[in-house]
């Protein structure tokens, strides 16, 4: 049986969704973020040296990284329902979106979150205007345009397709779910990106997704 080391409010939620869609038996080992730092607990380092989630254990294997876990699980499925095989139409697109989610889209979103925490975090009152100025300028000149470029790109794709690849739900959608949920929850989608909003709301209504939420517990998307 697969063991999922699940961290609250983390990428492991999309692994739960995938497991529910696959109908694979699994068990959850829960880990809670530190209430002050919001960081993962030391208990995860006893599972994998990086101390991050998601991590799964299966048949003596310990596998970290969302993309690696998703790829492992969809290929473990005898029906390979969520795989686009090499040689099939859409294979290169499938490979692209599988890597794009964490390689290109997530980094500026994470940077935005970090800068927001710097801006709102505790600091001497005289330093706050300086910190605010640095954060605002960084967002205006660098992060804002970069995020807009990525979201314009994704929005345009979803204007033409229901799912990311091959006209059906694939592993690429599980990978893309986490960053796009963060976009929608943070209010960045709004009226500017209706297709991103529609896409997220569409898959969140799937029974397997709802079961994954119940299994994982409270999930703060942003």
Query: CATH number of the domain that 168 lies in?
Result: 1.20.1050.10
- Sites in the chain below the pLDDT cut of 50: none
pLDDT of residue 192: 92
Question: Tens of pLDDT along 167-208?
Answer: 999 999 999 999 999 999 988 888 899 999 999 999 999 999
Q: Which domain holds residue 104?
A: 91-206
- How many domains does the structure of the chain reveal? 2
Let me know whether 24 and 75 are in one domain. yes
Let me know whether 50 and 110 are in one domain. no
pLDDT of residue 51: 92
Give domain status of residue 222, yes or no. Answer: no
Cα–Cα distance measured from residue 60 to residue 107, given in angstroms and rounded to the nearest whole number: 31
Let me know whether 54 and 102 are in one domain. no
Question: What's the pTM value of the predicted model, to 2 decimals?
Answer: 0.90
Let me know whether 75 and 168 are in one domain. no
Cα–Cα distance measured from residue 210 to residue 148, given in angstroms and rounded to the nearest whole number: 30
Q: What are phi and psi of 48, to 5 degrees?
A: -145, 140
pLDDT of residue 217: 86
Cα–Cα distance measured from residue 174 to residue 190, given in angstroms and rounded to the nearest whole number: 22
Cα–Cα distance measured from residue 99 to residue 5, given in angstroms and rounded to the nearest whole number: 22
The answer to whether 161 and 167 have CB atoms below 8 angstroms apart is yes
Let me know whether 96 and 200 are in one domain. yes
Let me know whether 46 and 141 are in one domain. no
pLDDT of residue 169: 98
DSSP per-residue codes, 153-178: HHHHHHHH-SSSBTTB--HHHHHHHH
Per-residue exposure over 177-203, b if at least 16 CB sit within 10 Å of its own CB, e if not: bbbbbbbbeeebbeeebebbbebbeeb
pLDDT of residue 187: 87
Let me know whether 184 and 98 are in one domain. yes
CATH number for the domain that contains residue 28: 3.40.30.10
The answer to whether 54 and 64 have CB atoms below 8 angstroms apart is yes
Give domain status of residue 13, yes or no. Answer: yes
Let me know whether 104 and 196 are in one domain. yes
Q: How many Cβ atoms sit within 10 Å of the Cβ of residue 163?
A: 17
Please tell me what DSSP assigns to residue 1.
-
Let me know whether 136 and 187 are in one domain. yes
pLDDT of residue 178: 95
Let me know whether 78 and 121 are in one domain. no
Please tell me what DSSP assigns to residue 39.
P
Beta bridge partners of 26: 2
Beta bridge partners of 168: 165
Give domain status of residue 40, yes or no. Answer: yes
Let me know whether 12 and 79 are in one domain. yes
- Cα torsion 202, 168, 149, 95: sign: positive
Let me know whether 95 and 202 are in one domain. yes
Give domain status of residue 221, yes or no. Answer: no
């Amino acid at each position: 049986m697969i063991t999922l080391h699940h961290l609250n409010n983390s990428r492991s939620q999309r692994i739960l969704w995938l497991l529910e869609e696959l109908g694979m038996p699994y068990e959850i080992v829960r880990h809670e973020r530190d209430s002050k730092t919001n960081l993962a607990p030391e208990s995860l380092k006893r599972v994998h040296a990086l101390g991050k989630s998601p991590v799964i254990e299966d048949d003596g294997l310990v596998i970290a990284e969302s993309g690696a876990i998703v790829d492992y699980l969809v290929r473990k499925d005898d029906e390979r329902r969520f795989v686009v095989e090499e040689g099939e139409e859409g294979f290169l697109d499938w490979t692209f979106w599988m890597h794009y989610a964490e390689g290109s889209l997530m980094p500026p979103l994470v940077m935005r979150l970090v800068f927001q925490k710097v801006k709102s975090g505790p600091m001497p009152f005289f330093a706050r205007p300086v910190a605010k100025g640095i954060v605002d300028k960084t967002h205006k000149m660098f992060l804002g345009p970069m995020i807009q470029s990525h979201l314009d790109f994704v929005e345009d794709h979803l204007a033409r397709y229901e799912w990311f690849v091959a006209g059906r739900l694939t592993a690429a959608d599980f990978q893309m779910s986490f960053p796009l949920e963060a976009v929608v929850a943070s209010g960045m989608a709004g009226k500017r990106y209706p297709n991103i909003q529609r896409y997220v709301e569409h898959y969140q209504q799937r029974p397997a997704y709802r079961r994954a939420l119940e299994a994982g517990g409270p999930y703060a998307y942003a």
